[in-house]
Copies of this chain bind each other. A is one copy, B any other.
């Protein structure tokens, strides 16, 4: 599993302030810290981005790629800002992302075609709602892949997100299982070893219970790994969970095991 940091968010007051006042240093300090903590890619979560969205995005991407060559996941629903990022981003880039929502099919998916980059597809229904179970997720995946193929992109460009939901949702525990089943069945259903990503922090969304949240995370992560997950979007400050990612890799990279490798 590849570790994608989910910490770079415009909702973080310090990041928001640095972007508003066009100060690169605080942003660069962050990405250096995430990289040191084990991030192999950074989700640049810019929210919907209002006025000057493209300008803010460009400033941010420029600042980050000045100090890091990590892949950047461009995470916003603002297609103009995504395009602005794609035009200037020299690091490997992933659009995060599209779904069956008509606006995203119309404005975001085509950007992956134009700029020939990887794109994450969420298994959400056309209204943006989370599916109730594995079967519905797989049906959405078939529909999503159909749109994807029609756009002319190579299958390798697709990364599917089955959508992890908070455990505290009414059906949260059941959903955690449905996500695992979806991950296991996706390659067969789509007919190729499609790459997958999941947001671990979402599982324990909310406040309080820090120790328990870490425990739930550390129980669910190996389950995701064992179900075939390729990329984990997670809180890079959770060092024990990062360590666990490395440990899980032993099981997904067959070869002769030695204690020195972990």
Residues of A participating in the B interface, judged by any CB pair closer than 8 Å? 167-168, 170, 172-174, 176-177, 180, 208-209, 212, 215-216, 218-223, 225-227, 243-244, 247-248, 250-251, 253-259, 262
A-B contact pairs, 26 of them (CB 8 A): A167-B250, A167-B257, A168-B258, A168-B259, A172-B257, A173-B251, A173-B255, A177-B251, A177-B254, A180-B226, A212-B259, A212-B262, A215-B244, A216-B262, A218-B218, A218-B222, A218-B244, A218-B247, A219-B247, A220-B251, A221-B222, A223-B223, A223-B225, A223-B226, A223-B251, A226-B226
Pair A174/B215 contact, Cβ less than 8 Å: no
Nearest B-chain residue to A170, judged by Cβ: B256
Q: How far is the CA of A113 from the CA of B227 in the complex (A)?
A: 38
Cβ-defined partner of A226 (8 Å) among B209, B227, B256: B227
Which residues from B are CB-within-8-Å of A223? Answer: 222-223, 225-226, 251
Q: A223-B226, A259-B208 are known contacts. Are A216 and B250 too (CB-CB below 8 A)? A: yes
A208, A209, A244, A250: which has the most chain B beta carbons within 10 Å? A250
Which residues from B are CB-within-8-Å of A168? Answer: 257-259
Shortest beta-carbon distance, A1 to chain B, in Å?
A: 11
Taking A215-B262, A216-B247 as given, write out 18 further A-B residue pairs in contact, using a Cβ cutoff of 8 Å, ordered by the A residue number: A168-B258, A168-B259, A170-B256, A173-B250, A173-B251, A173-B254, A173-B256, A173-B257, A174-B254, A177-B254, A219-B244, A219-B247, A219-B248, A219-B251, A220-B222, A221-B222, A222-B226, A223-B225
Closest 7 CB pairs of A and B: A223-B226, A222-B222, A219-B247, A209-B259, A167-B257, A174-B254, A219-B222
Q: How far is the CA of A172 from the CA of B168 in the complex (A)?
A: 37
Which residues from B are CB-within-8-Å of A220? Answer: 222, 251
Q: How far is the CA of A14 from the CA of B257 in the complex (A)?
A: 33
Pair B247/A215 contact, Cβ less than 8 Å: yes
Q: How far is the CA of A222 from the CA of B229 in the complex (A)?
A: 15
Q: How far is the CA of A248 from the CA of B219 in the complex (A)?
A: 6
Q: How far is the CA of A257 from the CA of B220 in the complex (A)?
A: 14
Cβ-defined partner of A243 (8 Å) among B215, B227, B253: B215
Which residues from B are CB-within-8-Å of A256? Answer: 170, 173
